[in-house]
Chains A and B, each alone.
Chain A
Amino acid sequence: MRSKKLIDLLVLPLFGIGLSLLIWHLISGATVSRVLPDGTTEEIKTGLVKDLPGPLMTWEKTRKYVVEPFAKREDLDQGILRFTWYSLVIVAKGYLIALLLGTPIGFLLGLSPLFTKLFDPIIQILRPVSPLAWMPLGVVLFAGTGKAANELGALFTIAICAMWPTVLNTAVGVRAIPQDYLNVARVLKLSRTQTLFKILVPATLPYMFTGYRLSLGIAWLVIVAVEMLTGRIGIGNFLWNEYNNGLYTSIILSILTIGVVGFLLDRAMSLLERRFKTA
């Protein structure tokens, strides 16, 4: 049965990736030069999707970013993982703010019906707002800080967009705590703080981690938009610059990198999440 698992977990996904690469290759376009009878050369585009670079061409044109992933040649010409690293750092900061704000708000929502009645409508209204809409507000809010405005605006945007899953899942988790656990706390006469840290938090932890995981996904989703708008250096900004330069291969490289990093982040969080599953 071990070999079956290996096939399911490794061979089939790899085969799927290979198949996708093949399809990509088949539908992508290429530019070929042809020598005309009058001696001049003409460039013509061929293929099903003429402007989509194929996998081989993408590899050729972007390999300098990949083979030296941490190189720094110029500000806008750096290894792909170096760009990714810049993005990850700001995502981490914004995400941390989101958790620090979101968790207590979630607890308040879960514990206090009054707080829920007061603020739940506002939360429901703010929650679906796109990062593209928050970003300008963020920059304006922190305009007074001068050079740091972009940075703080970016953090603001990431934090506020990534906060909601944490808020909502924590609230649901707190409301789902069985009365039995609270009865234990009452019989033992635990103080408020003890009840919070010995009963409420551990009982909510699985829900909190589901929220944290979704929040991280959103934080990573937001970074590209944020970097495009602020011009802050990072993977999203790289993508945008290369688009402006007409270098479509770099766009594809960026998309793949963003996807892989997002996937890895999610995997890591899901491992953590499983670690905290109880009951």
Chain B
Amino acid sequence: MSFLELKGVTKSFGSNVVLRDINLSIARGEVAAIVGYSGAGKTTLINLIAGLTRPDTGTVSMNGKIITEPGPDRGLVFQNYSLLPWLTVRENIELAIQAVFPAWTADQRAASVEKHIRMVGLGHAAHRRPVELSGGMRQRVSLARTLAIDPEVLLLDEPLGALDALTRATLQDEISRITQESGKTVLLITNDPDEAIYLADRIIPLSAGPGATLGPDFPVTLARPRDRRAMNHDPDFKRLRNQIVNWLLGPGGRVVQSVSKRLILPDLLPEDLDEPRTLFGTSRQPRRRSEQKREVVEIR
């Protein structure tokens, strides 16, 4: 039975159809990755699961219950970290723990805060504010804050998107270790196929917008623990990588470029010269106004 399930979900903002016909089911304990273009609607998709936005049609459910609002059972690591700048690292994590486990004693809370700060290796920076942290450190705090509320599913929205390649690799290792140790259900959003293959059990590509939809499943059969360097030479890895990239670049995943032009059909009747010229020239209007049309050309 699937644990997290999206059925026939569509979502538009105004006339902008972002997601259409999304069907996805994730089993308990699975690490699923969604790979897609920038601006395709990945954040919109994860917000739907988090409950921050509601779908226009279709349902999002977890454990058989329809999701109608956000809650700490779905731990969302925001794309832009969303740390509260007036709180230190420790206080940011403390706030989350306080909110989610109000019944805990002060000692229990403090112990949990310290445990999670250490888990992401930020013991030396616990008293600093987010402005005093590097991007990678902020990402770790954000991860620690989410792990601290012990969610049933971990939603990671391009957790490493803003980081340089080296920091990315280190943090990928940490995420891999933490998710494997906790055995939690994870939905990872990324724009990097390599990252998806390294971390996930299954990869689902998201086509380009507007009207993005999910592609076929690509199970990752590489044994764990995965070794980044060995993986690069693994024929299975290369094949999988090619399949995903090809799907994204192929007709299923490609951007539909559309050019919209405004056409003005000119007046055919000349203006009436018999009418007197006024000071502001307003009365000498053409007898028939220009006709305006809009033409849309799609390039596939």
Contact = CB atoms under 8 A, between A and B. Distances in A.
A181 interface: yes
Contacts, number: 53
Interface string A180-210: 1101101111100010001100110100000
B254 interface: no
B72 A183 contact: no
B131 A279 contact: yes
A199 B70 CA distance: 17
B148 to A, nearest CB: 11
A188 B87 CA distance: 16
Contacts of A205: 86
A176 B267 CA distance: 48
A40 interface: no
Interface string A266-279: 00000000000011
B96 interface: yes
A278 B85 contact: yes
B37 to A, nearest CB: 23
Interface in B68-102: 69-72, 74-76, 78, 80, 82, 84-87, 95-96, 99-100
Interface residues of B, number: 24
A13 to B, nearest CB: 32
Contacts of B143: none
Given A183-B52, A187-B71, A187-B72, A198 B95 contact: yes
Contact of B99 (A183, A190, A202, A203): A190
Contacts of A198: 95
Nearest to A201: B86
Given A187-B72, A189-B70, A181 B84 contact: yes
Interface in B162-210: none
B129 interface: yes
Contacts of A181: 82, 84
Interface of B: 50-52, 69-72, 74-76, 78, 80, 82, 84-87, 95-96, 99-100, 129, 131, 149
Interface of A: 180-181, 183-184, 186-190, 194, 198-199, 202-203, 205, 278-279
**The 7 A-B residue pairs with the shortest CB-CB distance in the complex, in nearest-first order:** A180-B82, A279-B85, A188-B99, A278-B86, A186-B70, A202-B86, A278-B85
20 contacts: A180-B82, A183-B70, A183-B76, A183-B78, A183-B82, A184-B78, A184-B84, A186-B51, A187-B50, A187-B52, A187-B74, A187-B75, A188-B95, A194-B99, A202-B86, A203-B86, A205-B86, A278-B85, A279-B86, A279-B131
